[in-house]
Amino acid sequence: MILNFKGADEGLNATVYAELRKRIVTGHISPNHELSTRGLAGELGVSQTPVRDALSRLSAEGAVSIRSKRRVRVPEMTSERFDDLLRCRLLLEPEAAALALPFLTAADVQRLREIDATLDAAVKNGDAGVYMQSNYDFHFTLYRAQPQKTLTQLIETLWLQFGPYMRVLYGRVPNAELNDRHQTAIAAIEKQDATALREAIAQDISDGMGLLGKSDLAVNPAR
């Protein structure tokens, strides 16, 4: 991908950061994968400076581990790290969904339905890329409706750390097991039921990340 950006350096840095961030959060970069600053710069059509800047920001967010000036690694998933991420997601995301409830419009609900339909089709077709992107879009269409921007940013940091592992997990489980609680969440939104919405999001996280992920780590523990 070549980034055709003709703005100031600060804007270019932000564009490169956004692209790398998207790749990580949607699992296009796998756990324990080494990234080359030179390779990424060539792929994106930029110098190494904005790539290094982006990777430094991603390191501060826990998404990558900088090993040297030229090489960066996406951390492996361990049981301890998994439990920590799961706990934090269960603390923050149901609350963000409930806070968003008063701000969601009919157009937002329709958008959520469209995203969920795309996600269901991706599961049926075995399209991991569309599945990951659609799952992200569903959750953050919901969370970004609430005005607490810091809360959304914290949640995004958690997704950055979990995205690479979720993509691996997708390839290890039968499509029939990739259930979600999105329709339950939409029904709760239409009823303006904050308690039911919290429960739907918590169950969605527990079913997807909790049940499937814990099972996978038990069989394939990180070294």
Render pLDDT for 41-91 as a digit per residue (tens, 0 to 9).
999 999 999 999 999 999 999 999 987 776 789 988 888 888 899 999 999
- Asked if residue 5 lies in contact with residue 11, where contact means CB atoms within 8 angstroms, the answer is yes
CA distance 91 to 94: 7
Greatest mean pLDDT among 81-85, 119-123, 144-148, 195-199: 195-199
| Six token digits for residue 87 | 């706990």
Sequence-separated (6 or more) residues with CB below 8 Å from residue 209:
85, 86, 89, 162, 166
Average pLDDT score, the chain: 86
pLDDT in tens, 171-180: 665 554 556 8
Evaluate if residue 165 carries a pLDDT over 70: yes
**DSSP secondary-structure letter at 221?**
-
The helix or strand, by DSSP H or E, that contains position 128, with its residue range, turns out to be: helix 128-143
CA distance 154 to 146: 14
Q: Which of 31, 148, 164, 165 is nearest to 99 (CA)?
A: 148
Question: Which of 4-13, 19-28, 89-98, 122-131 bottoms out in mean pLDDT, i.e. has the lowest?
Answer: 4-13
- Asked if residue 75 lies in contact with residue 65, where contact means CB atoms within 8 angstroms, the answer is yes
Q: pLDDT: is 98 or 28 the higher one?
A: 98
CA distance 165 to 163: 5
Q: Which of 31, 36, 46, 34 is nearest to 1 (CA)?
A: 46
| Six token digits for residue 206 | 């527990």
Predicted pLDDT at 216 = 60
For the chain, list the domains and their CATH numbers: 9-73 (1.10.10.10), 79-219 (1.20.120.530)
| Six token digits for residue 191 | 């009823």
Predicted pLDDT at 4 = 41
Q: How far apart are the first and last CA of the chain?
A: 33
